[in-house]
A and B are shown apart, each in its own frame.
Chain A
Amino acid sequence: MTAIGETPAEVGKARVRKEDARLITGQTNWTDNITLPGLAHVAFLRSPHAHARITRVDVSEARNAPGVFAAFTGQDVKDEQGSLPCAWPVSEDMILPDHPAMAVDTVRYGGEIVAAVVARDRYAAADAIELIDVDYEELEPVLDMREAIKPGAVKVHAEGNKSYTWELANGDLGAAFNDAPIVLDRVYRQQRLIPAAMEPRSVVCAPVGDEYTMWSATQVPHILRLMLAMVTGIPEQSLRVIAPDVGGGFGSKLQVTAEEVLALLLAKRLGRPVKWTESRSEGNVAVHHGRDQIQHIRLAADADGRIRGLDVDLLADMGAYLMLVTPGVPILGAFMFNAIYKMDAYRFNCTGVFTTKTPTDAYRGAGRPEATYAIEHIMDDLAAHLGVDPLEIRERNWIKHEEFPYDTIAGLTYDSGNYEAATARARELFNYEGLRKEQSERISASSPVRLGVGVSTYTEMCGLAPSRVLGSLSYGAGGWEHASVRMLATGKVEVVTGSSAHGQGHETAWSQIVADQLGVAFEDVRVLHGDTQVSPKGLDTYGSRSLTVGGTALVLACGKVREKAKAIAAHMLEVSPEDLEWTGGRWAVRGDPDQGKNLAEITLATFAAHDLPDGVEPSLDSDATYDPDNFSFPHGTHLCAVDVDTETGRVKIRSYVAVDDIGHVINPLIVDGQVHGGLAQGIAQALYEEAAYDDSGNLVTASLADYLIPSAADLPSFVTDRTETPSTGNPLGVKGVGEAGTIASTPAVVNAIIDALRPFGVTDVEMPCTPERVWRAINEAKGGAR
């Protein structure tokens, strides 16, 4: 496909956002702002134990408390609640345990719902929760993945602790490793993270007769509607789901949650609208977590550092249950461990393990940051092993720009890329040579503050996803996206997208695309999304898919509008359609550009319908559903310099350069913002954040006082730039940018820290690289306290 139409006027402009008007003035429509006549408030009692049998739940006192309408236990809803959905059975023999929205007889993680109260306000509901009496028979928690898969381990589910094993292999691994001059064997740990979108989850559900409207702070209103229908048996056409303004997601709101299912069931039972809004401490235990893998990675290389083979064994913590895409998240990494490199053989093997912890699922990057971390870390180890500069070792192995399209060892086809250009630009912005010089000076001077330089050359797969590929991976749905364009009589445009934004700026970027496609003003476009009644078709926003898939659907729908308009314009101009060309944002007579009609004129004529060609319907409205042929593959080179205070272990990021290649850019302002935020989250994994459990299985980072999200004072300013190698897979030439920063930055930071400490003999620091861990790594390398 090629781009249609004129030289872009709007696309590429740093437009300030349309969405801001309500967000900066406090006129936002968060779910928790919604109030309805007779609205009741729901509160949940959650398990304080990681693993226990429930022997008795007594809600009678709660039921009788002032202002309480009802109280429910798992027994009360067990016949209706079904099982929370998992849409990604990655193997035929995957163990997919029943997942009750409200626990009935066993709790398997701290935070699992045990009872519910519905009351007149949130204060009364919170009070009544304390009146519920539960007897538990405590069971041993299952906290360590390696222990969990041993024979005789305490079982999280009767079926066993191993959910699945999934393997991908290509090439002759034995040949690659046998007699390889270099074999590196490493184990890295991906700590568990809490996505912590700033808006806590919230859901409002209102019944009208047999029909239900649900407002939810969700990334996926369409998927939610479908799944609610499948779980509860309420017909899909009787459910309307609205995602109003949603305060961030990062994957955490790509979910169908127990709270949503229960809100629907309670609204149905009581015949009145209900609202539930979580507190942060509740969210930290109850919203799905991310990452949590033990990565065993082996790399075989020639003496000159050329990679021969890569062998990856993952243990991936599923937590206590499989949620919407839990088992698939680590599988996405299968296609990314090989990264930008060429190699002869590759094997990826992943075992999904149940533990008595909060379930894991998608968190920004979902499988790709984990893979990128491991490969970029071991590439640095390889460089250190050979005494070669880490950028040099990468260059020896990466796919050259003239080799695209390139079929990778993991079975994907990278359509385009230019790693040389991005790396050259990053080096230049970073002052790479100058910093290396300063680094050796500090080593010579035995300075207590060491300088480290970290490299991360990454690629990732965006634009989830070609439906055929998803099918081959046993995913339960497709990966298409839908858009429709409605031409209003006044010449203004309403655009409906199935992509559901929650901070990404669709209203602005989509307006820019439409303005160019239809020759209308940016201001004249209104973008509608996030309501299944307004936008009945869609597959929502995750996996950096909105622009590559949803944006392409929009372009195709606009093309249909133009084609419909062409016939009418020809009739209006009394020429044959073949004599018209789309130029300057209007249909004009070829060779006589003064003779033409713009879309406003054509739309008005179509609306009036007084004089349309025979057989032409009086509407320009069009829609399109686009299913991509391939993923898109953004890439880039990130360089990070850190100062490490070897006396205290404190790491300070001194400079950070990110050069990303995301293809064509619709709005550079929005793109830079996405990169900044992604970097912050990736750096947070490297330095600050970890969902930590104690020995009895309690999450000890249940509040933001303990789960350390960095503030402005904890992060540096970033230098960002771009190279632009268009994707050849879509008409916009775009690739996706939502997750790039997160994927690239974690290894850049950790590599920088290790680079600073290699002179002491340090080869790894476990994440998050807290001052204590850094200090201990230095001491350990020196043979001191561990």
Chain B
Amino acid sequence: MIPAQFDYVKPSSLEEAVRALASDEDAKVIAGGQSLLPLLRLRFAYPSVLVDLAGLDALRSVTDNGSSIEIGALVTHYELTRDPLIAAHAGLLTEAAGTIADPAVRHRGTIGGALSHGDAAGDLPAVVTALDADLVITGPSGSRVLKPGDFFSDYLTTALAPDEILTAIRVPKLSGWGYAYEKFNVTAQAWAIVGVAAAVRRENGQVAEARVGLTNMGSVPVRASAAEAAAAGADASPAALAAAGARADEGTNPPEDLRAAADYRRHLARVLTGRALTAAAGLS
């Protein structure tokens, strides 16, 4: 299949990119293009102009901000899996990024693109949700920062205005936390039926704190708050964490689709959250 016609610009500054977006309401950002290209080829999208961010080298860096790591929007999934700073302070991202699609797609796909696409079935939205990252957005009137809960607004929809660009992701350093990403898919390159991103801080044989983000358990990535609360203060034992995990689907509204019915997704979320918490606590 072949995309419909569009124009193409490749700005050399962020300001220029924002201006290009602002000047045409049907303009669309392209970064790695790994979500966009299939949509264009199947003619599910008809942008008038593609604004290619590839010229914005400033968005390619990973920097240590003291209490957080700042990851430029153009950092690829492949780079997420290889970056030592991210591995040291946000290993959950390293692990989850390694499960996205396949190596060739990971070479092109970017963290900014994956988040801006706003697909709750994608792996990174749940991870940044679990990590409670800051999402840095630039528009005509400057920058703003959103939390994941405000950024992901609906199915394939984010709070980004048409003339805004997600430029960076600030991930708080979770020193001493364990983590795990449990992805459940039917074939290796298929989308997750359910994914669970968990991070756990242990203290004196107990779980002091837990964060759980769920992939594909609603129209947006969600935190499993009940499971988090149940895990906090629980014994660091597989049984206790399985019990906490059993509350993972509370408050979720999982989709029904070709791949799974909602009740099965709920069940998987419960089982996988138990497993993810157990792994994150270093118990498996």
Complex: A in contact with B (CB within 8 Å):
yes
CB distance from B194 to the nearest CB of A (A): 10
Instruction: Report whether B188 and A775 are in contact in the complex, using a CB–CB cutoff of 8 Å.
Output: no
CB distance from A335 to the nearest CB of B (A): 34
Q: Which residues of B contact A123 (CB under 8 A)?
A: 2
Instruction: Report whether A703 and B187 are in contact in the complex, using a CB–CB cutoff of 8 Å.
Output: no
Q: What's the Cα separation between A688 and B191 when bound, in Å? A: 14
Closest Cβ neighbor of A692 among chain B residues: B258
Q: What's the Cα separation between A151 and B183 when bound, in Å? A: 48
Q: Which residues of B contact A692 (CB under 8 A)?
A: 258
Q: What's the Cα separation between A785 and B38 when bound, in Å? A: 37
CB distance from A512 to the nearest CB of B (A): 37
Q: What's the Cα separation between A770 and B259 when bound, in Å? A: 9
Q: What's the Cα separation between A126 and B1 when bound, in Å? A: 8
Q: What's the Cα separation between A279 and B264 when bound, in Å? A: 33
Instruction: Report whether B188 and A711 are in contact in the complex, using a CB–CB cutoff of 8 Å.
Output: yes
Task: Give chain A's interface secondary structure class.
Answer: loop
Q: Which residues of A contact B261 (CB under 8 A)?
A: 772
| Residues 134-158 of A at the B interface (beta carbon under 8 Å) | none
Within 8 Å by CB of B260, from A127, A700, A772, lies A772
Instruction: Report whether B189 and A776 are in contact in the complex, using a CB–CB cutoff of 8 Å.
Output: no
Instruction: Report whether A648 and B187 are in contact in the complex, using a CB–CB cutoff of 8 Å.
Output: no
A672-703 CB contact bits vs B (8 Å, 1 = yes)? 00000000000000001000100000001101
Instruction: Report whether B1 and A711 are in contact in the complex, using a CB–CB cutoff of 8 Å.
Output: no
Q: Which residues of A contact B272 (CB under 8 A)?
A: 648
| Residues 70-126 of A at the B interface (beta carbon under 8 Å) | 122-123, 126
B190 at the interface (CB under 8 A from A): yes
Q: Which residues of A contact B53 (CB under 8 A)?
A: none
* CB contact under 8 A between A708 and B1, given known A281-B42, A692-B258, A700-B258: no
B267 at the interface (CB under 8 A from A): yes
* CB contact under 8 A between A127 and B1, given known A703-B42, A711-B189, A772-B260: no
B104 at the interface (CB under 8 A from A): no
Q: What's the Cα separation between A772 and B265 when bound, in Å? A: 9
Closest Cβ neighbor of A771 among chain B residues: B186
Instruction: Report whether A713 and B1 are in contact in the complex, using a CB–CB cutoff of 8 Å.
Output: no
A-B CB contacts (within 8 Å), total count: 54
Within 8 Å by CB of A279, from B1, B190, B259, lies B1
Q: What's the Cα separation between A382 and B264 when bound, in Å? A: 32
Q: Which residues of A contact B69 (CB under 8 A)?
A: none
Closest Cβ neighbor of A121 among chain B residues: B2
Closest Cβ neighbor of B4 among chain A residues: A127
Q: What's the Cα separation between A130 and B191 when bound, in Å? A: 30
A759 at the interface (CB under 8 A from B): no
Within 8 Å by CB of A688, from B1, B38, B187, lies B187
A411 at the interface (CB under 8 A from B): no
A611 at the interface (CB under 8 A from B): no
Closest Cβ neighbor of B268 among chain A residues: A648
Instruction: Report whether A127 and B5 are in contact in the complex, using a CB–CB cutoff of 8 Å.
Output: yes
B8 at the interface (CB under 8 A from A): no
Instruction: Report whether B187 and A711 are in contact in the complex, using a CB–CB cutoff of 8 Å.
Output: yes
CB distance from B271 to the nearest CB of A (A): 5
CB distance from A706 to the nearest CB of B (A): 6
Instruction: Report whether A772 and B188 are in contact in the complex, using a CB–CB cutoff of 8 Å.
Output: no
CB distance from B71 to the nearest CB of A (A): 27
Q: Which residues of A contact B193 (CB under 8 A)?
A: 771-772
Q: Which residues of A contact B4 (CB under 8 A)?
A: 127, 130
Q: What's the Cα separation between A770 and B184 when bound, in Å? A: 12
Closest Cβ neighbor of A711 among chain B residues: B188
Q: What's the Cα separation between A709 and B7 when bound, in Å? A: 35
* CB contact under 8 A between A648 and B271, given known A127-B4, A772-B261: yes
Closest Cβ neighbor of B190 among chain A residues: A708
Closest Cβ neighbor of A645 among chain B residues: B271
Within 8 Å by CB of B271, from A647, A705, A710, lies A647
Count the A residues whose beta carbon is within 8 Å of the partner chain — how many?
Answer: 30
B41-54 CB contact bits vs A (8 Å, 1 = yes)? 01100000000000
CB distance from A633 to the nearest CB of B (A): 34
Instruction: Report whether B187 and A708 are in contact in the complex, using a CB–CB cutoff of 8 Å.
Output: yes
Instruction: Report whether B264 and A710 are in contact in the complex, using a CB–CB cutoff of 8 Å.
Output: no
A524 at the interface (CB under 8 A from B): no
CB distance from B264 to the nearest CB of A (A): 5
| Residues 239-261 of B at the A interface (beta carbon under 8 Å) | 258-261
CB distance from A129 to the nearest CB of B (A): 10
Q: What's the Cα separation between A714 and B4 when bound, in Å? A: 35
CB distance from A783 to the nearest CB of B (A): 16
Instruction: Report whether A688 and B186 are in contact in the complex, using a CB–CB cutoff of 8 Å.
Output: yes
Instruction: Report whether A775 and B1 are in contact in the complex, using a CB–CB cutoff of 8 Å.
Output: no
Q: Which residues of A contact B186 (CB under 8 A)?
A: 688, 708, 770-771
Instruction: Report whether A122 and B190 are in contact in the complex, using a CB–CB cutoff of 8 Å.
Output: no
B83 at the interface (CB under 8 A from A): no
A704-721 CB contact bits vs B (8 Å, 1 = yes)? 011011110110000000
Instruction: Report whether A710 and B42 are in contact in the complex, using a CB–CB cutoff of 8 Å.
Output: no
Q: Which residues of B contact A279 (CB under 8 A)?
A: 1
| Residues 1-46 of B at the A interface (beta carbon under 8 Å) | 1-2, 4-5, 38, 42-43
Q: Which residues of A contact B2 (CB under 8 A)?
A: 122-123, 126
A742-786 CB contact bits vs B (8 Å, 1 = yes)? 000000000000000000000000000011100110000000010
Q: Which residues of A contact B64 (CB under 8 A)?
A: none
Closest Cβ neighbor of A122 among chain B residues: B2
Instruction: Report whether B187 and A706 are in contact in the complex, using a CB–CB cutoff of 8 Å.
Output: no
CB distance from A279 to the nearest CB of B (A): 4
CB distance from A592 to the nearest CB of B (A): 66
Q: Which residues of B contact A710 (CB under 8 A)?
A: 187
- A692, A713, A771, A776: which has the most chain B beta carbons within 10 Å? A771
CB distance from B255 to the nearest CB of A (A): 13
Q: Which residues of B contact A650 (CB under 8 A)?
A: 184
A390-430 CB contact bits vs B (8 Å, 1 = yes)? 00000000000000000000000000000000000000000
Q: Which residues of B contact A700 (CB under 8 A)?
A: 258
CB distance from B120 to the nearest CB of A (A): 16
Instruction: Report whether B42 and A785 are in contact in the complex, using a CB–CB cutoff of 8 Å.
Output: no
Instruction: Report whether A706 and B188 are in contact in the complex, using a CB–CB cutoff of 8 Å.
Output: no
B263 at the interface (CB under 8 A from A): yes
Closest Cβ neighbor of A278 among chain B residues: B1
Instruction: Report whether B258 and A775 are in contact in the complex, using a CB–CB cutoff of 8 Å.
Output: no
Closest Cβ neighbor of B2 among chain A residues: A126
Within 8 Å by CB of A785, from B187, B190, B263, lies B263
Q: What's the Cα separation between A755 and B2 when bound, in Å? A: 47
Q: Which residues of A contact B190 (CB under 8 A)?
A: 705, 708
B126-151 CB contact bits vs A (8 Å, 1 = yes)? 00000000000000000000000000
Q: Which residues of A contact B191 (CB under 8 A)?
A: 705
Closest Cβ neighbor of A772 among chain B residues: B264
Q: Which residues of B contact A713 (CB under 8 A)?
A: 187-189
CB distance from A711 to the nearest CB of B (A): 5
Q: What's the Cα separation between A130 and B46 when bound, in Å? A: 12
Instruction: Report whether A775 and B264 are in contact in the complex, using a CB–CB cutoff of 8 Å.
Output: yes
B167-188 CB contact bits vs A (8 Å, 1 = yes)? 0000000000000000010111
Instruction: Report whether A775 and B267 are in contact in the complex, using a CB–CB cutoff of 8 Å.
Output: yes
Within 8 Å by CB of A714, from B184, B187, B267, B271, lies B187
Closest Cβ neighbor of A768 among chain B residues: B186
Q: What's the Cα separation between A710 and B185 when bound, in Å? A: 12
Q: What's the Cα separation between A127 and B3 when bound, in Å? A: 9
Q: Which residues of B contact A282 (CB under 8 A)?
A: 1
CB distance from B141 to the nearest CB of A (A): 38
Closest Cβ neighbor of A125 among chain B residues: B2
| Residues 188-218 of B at the A interface (beta carbon under 8 Å) | 188-191, 193
Q: What's the Cα separation between A381 and B2 when bound, in Å? A: 50
Q: Which residues of B contact A703 (CB under 8 A)?
A: 42
User: Which 10 pairs show the lowest CB-CB distances between chains A and B?
Assistant: A713-B188, A126-B2, A279-B1, A772-B264, A708-B187, A714-B187, A647-B271, A700-B258, A772-B260, A711-B188
Known: A706-B258, A708-B186, A775-B267. 17 other contacts (CB 8 A): A127-B5, A282-B1, A647-B271, A648-B271, A688-B186, A700-B258, A705-B190, A705-B191, A708-B187, A711-B187, A711-B189, A713-B187, A713-B188, A713-B189, A771-B184, A771-B193, A772-B264
A–B complex contacts, Cβ < 8 Å, 7 sampled: A647-B271, A648-B271, A692-B258, A700-B258, A708-B190, A709-B187, A772-B260
